[in-house]
Chain A
Amino acid sequence: MIVRFFHRMASPMHFYRIAGLFVPWLGVLSAALLLAGLYGGLVLAPTDYQQGESYRIIFIHVPAAWMSLFIYVVMAAGGLISLVWRIKLAEVIAISSAPIGASFTFLALVTGSLWGKPMWGTWWVWDARLTSELILLFLYLGVIALYGAIEDKRVAARAVAILALVGVVNIPIIHYSVEWWNTLHQPATITKFDKPSIHLSMLVPLLLMALAFKLYYATVVLMRARCEVLERERNSRWVQSLVEPAAR
């Protein structure tokens, strides 16, 4: 049964309909988790003895940073599947994930700097994690720019798939070399930017937020994928019957 499900999912029409069914449920679930996470993080979690209230920014910063990496890996996996098995659906998912990943990376960067300001008095610190996040943002922007630059969307999608694969191979290398670079030029004044010791009452909202972000990503990527499918299949019969069922 599962194989049949995936088999039918490959056809754009079925994907469009099935994704349409999933989107509202995923959306409601992610909203619920988001509210629970926010309530846990902002209200229940105790004040941090070191950083006072400003540490509450981690409930946005850390899940967003996790998401930025997670989405890039999903994009690369989608690219791999579309290149190797020629499944158009994987291409569509990879293309639709790029802007979402970029916005999560941007969110992680800005919240990281907003969290850094009260702690060290500067908006930007060349810290290992923030620097890797910045380079990840450039990788995302490269993917989006490449997709935009090539007119033929089929060729563009496969070019982006290769770029995402090359990027995902480079991410650990870049991260390691930035860590190496950071430990070398460690200015004595700024303390190491480590996560505060996670107390259970802080960990639970953090995980809730991470899960909420993942479900949110699933919802939005399916919505974008449906638009992409509509765009690609615009003159196929099922799209036209979808648009004007009566007038056919």
Chain B
Amino acid sequence: MSTLSLSSAFVLLLRRDLVLAYRRRAELMNPLLFFVLVTSLFPLGIGNDPKLIQAVGSGVIWVAALLAALLSLDSMFRSDFDDGSLEQFMLSAHPVSILVLAKVLAHWLVTGLPLLLVAPLLGVLLALPGDAIGVLMLTLILGTPVLSLIGAVGVALTVGLRRGGVILSLLVLPLYVPVLIFGADAMETAAAGIPATAQLSFLGALLALSLALAPMATAASLRVSLS
């Protein structure tokens, strides 16, 4: 019985999840539509004065991105937990944190990255200046994987619960605060024309830290909630 090498197991799992997600293509649109919808709600609430909307714009977009990521988190382990394949992954010879990384990467490719496609549209909706939209996409590239990685820990802790949704947001949103602060602030400084390298480097540091620690925490939480 040829044992799979770690990298081929990683690629296999990644491809499996992407194919599964591709089969339910229609569902992939939901986070995008939610992102645009929430962002366009704010001007309705605030009023159509462009200066006001522009001042609030970066914060609004990032809060909407946070909520869209949070909404799509539940699907990460839910289907595997229901049909029992999650237990099979846990039993594999390979380190579980690498397999979890594959699942989180697949989830990010399917839900986090597509948020970028919609970013220019939102930039126009909220009257953001040109380079702010560019920085918005940069912060989304750096920020959304952090949201998926930290969210994975929360999902792993609540995967066993029937109504885990509300608790998941209570667990995960406080941990999203640094990403929100630096993401929104990067856009604001970019809108003011100042280069936002400091904030972007912080987002990069957050990404590196969560890339290193989150899979281990997720693996440990899966082991606990499946025991």
Contact = CB atoms under 8 A, between A and B. Distances in A.
Whether A associates with B in a native complex is yes
A174 interface: yes
Contact of B227 (A83, A145, A155, A167): A155
B157 A145 contact: no
Contacts of B173: 138
Interface residues of A, number: 28
A177 to B, nearest CB: 4
Given A146-B167, A149-B158, A135 B174 contact: yes
Contacts of B177: 135, 174, 177-178
A180 B220 CA distance: 32
Interface stretch (A103-111, A157-165, A189-197, A200-208): A157-165
Contacts of A165: 217
Secondary structure type dominating chain B contacts: helix
Contact of B220 (A138, A146, A149, A162): A162
Nearest to A165: B217
A145 B181 contact: no
A177 B182 contact: yes
Contacts of A162: 153, 157, 217, 220-221, 224
A169 B213 contact: yes
Contact of A83 (B161, B170, B174, B220): B220
Interface of A: 83, 135, 138-139, 141-142, 145-146, 149-150, 155, 158-159, 162-163, 165-167, 169-170, 173-174, 176-178, 180-181, 184
Interface of B: 153, 157-158, 160-161, 164, 167, 170-171, 173-175, 177-178, 181-182, 185, 202, 206, 209, 213, 217, 220-221, 224-225, 227
